[in-house]
Amino acid sequence: MSKRQRLLPGMRKVTLASGAVRYEVTLDAGPDPVSGRRRQTRKRYATLDEAVAAHAKITSQVDEGTYVARSPITVDRACADYLAGRHNLRPTSLSKLAYDLAPLRERHGDLLLQSLTKRHIDDLVKDLRAGGTTTARGRTRRPWSPAAVNKVTATISQILDDALEQGFVARNVAAGVDRVPAVHKAMDTYEPTEVKRLLAAAAADRNGHAWHLALSGLRRGEIAGLRWVDVDLGAGSLTIANNRTSAGGVTVEGDPKSSSSRRTLPLTGPLRAALDAARVRQKRERLALGADYGSGEYVVSNEAGDPYNPAVLSRYWADVAKSAGVRHIRLHDARHTAATTMHLQGVPVAVIAAWIGHSDASFTMRVYAHSQNDALRDAATVLGAVVTGL
């Protein structure tokens, strides 16, 4: 039987100008995932055996709906389309997602999505950990933490899962990328004596009311996004209704982090006094600047009446800790301090969870209920007294 007779439907023998023989396979490849139109796949092979094997594989994949034809979609286009389709995300979450994808788009944006390999992602992970990658604005990145790098890998995997579902790629090459081991880092909190010293320093700080808010359990984004319209000094309460966050130098506002994050809290006496003083001070600044003063809408704002970039608050927090002569902990750790203080004073965990905006009290217990040195010493004293009395 001749080779001619072995040709399957959709196959033909092609003789090139050089005299070389190729076997061309042209098959129906099913509907295009973008346009929905029928499409064909055509490719030439050096031997008949290769062509027959390809014919069988393509036919089987088309029947199963798993065939992936060549696509002109680039990495950047895939990222942009994925972001555009995340209709369920808050603006702040969408901004963070875009931030996590930026290193991939900057380095491999022009690459065909189907050409993206595991090695591309592995090299990106290594370089982000080492530091020195360059942003679209020409800035040099510092080394990223394991948690930050792992978010990048997870986000790339989400993009590829979406592309796989749409039929643009044959597999998710990010699925096999190892996550960077995270170094255990205990959450740090202030002890009561340190809180007193810091608030004493805050009394002389223009943004002292911001540190009262931090030590009352508010997130950084909640402090930056708090507006005077959400504060009722007469009733002695404030409502968390706005979140102001920053990712990659871009500040975005939106709803609070979750439904449980939207909450109304009573003002403590010191916090109420600090907010009242800040309100008076901002009114004086408005009078001094006149028409040049900003909106004055935000509780924590600069002398010109404009809100701060959240990252600026972290820098100012470090400054006030230094002036107070206390060790520096993250601004977010002030929130941990509030939760831990309430826990050590016997406040029920469910109440603490509601105060700091958690929907799950068990999560609050796991994450925020830290025992400080004084509490451990007290526990040792109690245990020692019991053991001694046996």
Residue 302's CATH number = 1.10.443.10
Together in a domain, 201 and 315: yes
Is 3 within the bounds of a domain?
Answer: no
In this structure, which long-range contacts are made by residues 140-145, counting pairs with CB atoms below 8 Å and at least 24 apart in sequence?
Answer: 141/103
Cα-based angle 379, 385, 387 (whole degrees, multiple of 5): 100
In a domain, 381, yes or no: no
Residues 210 and 331 reside in one and the same domain = yes
Q: State the amino acid at position 262 in one-letter form.
A: R
332 and 224 both lie in a single domain? yes
Residues pairing with 134 in the sheet: 140
385: in domain: no
CA 271, CA 333: separation in Å to the nearest integer?
Answer: 18
Tens digit of pLDDT at every position of the chain (390 positions): 444 557 888 899 999 999 999 999 988 877 776 667 787 888 899 999 898 888 888 888 777 666 777 788 999 999 999 999 999 888 888 888 999 999 999 999 999 999 999 999 999 999 999 998 888 888 899 999 999 999 999 999 999 999 998 888 888 999 999 999 987 677 789 999 999 999 999 999 999 999 999 999 999 999 999 999 999 999 999 999 999 988 767 888 888 878 888 999 999 999 999 999 999 999 999 999 999 999 999 999 999 999 999 999 999 999 999 999 999 999 999 998 998 888 878 788 888 889 988 887 777 776 655 555 556 566 666 666 666 554
Number of domains in the chain: 3
Domain that holds residue 223: 192-337
Domain identity same for 136 and 226:
no
Does the model's pTM come out above 0.75? no
CA–CA separation, 95 and 88 (whole Å):
13
Look at residue 348 and tell me if it is in a domain: no
Among the listed residues 269, 259, 200, 201, the one whose alpha carbon sits nearest the alpha carbon of residue 233: 269
Residues 323 and 250 in one domain: yes
Whether residue 180 lies inside any domain: the answer is no
Please indicate, yes or no, if residue 321 is contained in any of the structural domains: yes
pLDDT digits (tens, 9 = 90+) for 107-149: 999 999 999 999 999 999 999 999 988 888 888 999 999 999 9
- Chosen domain end from 41, 64, 87: 64
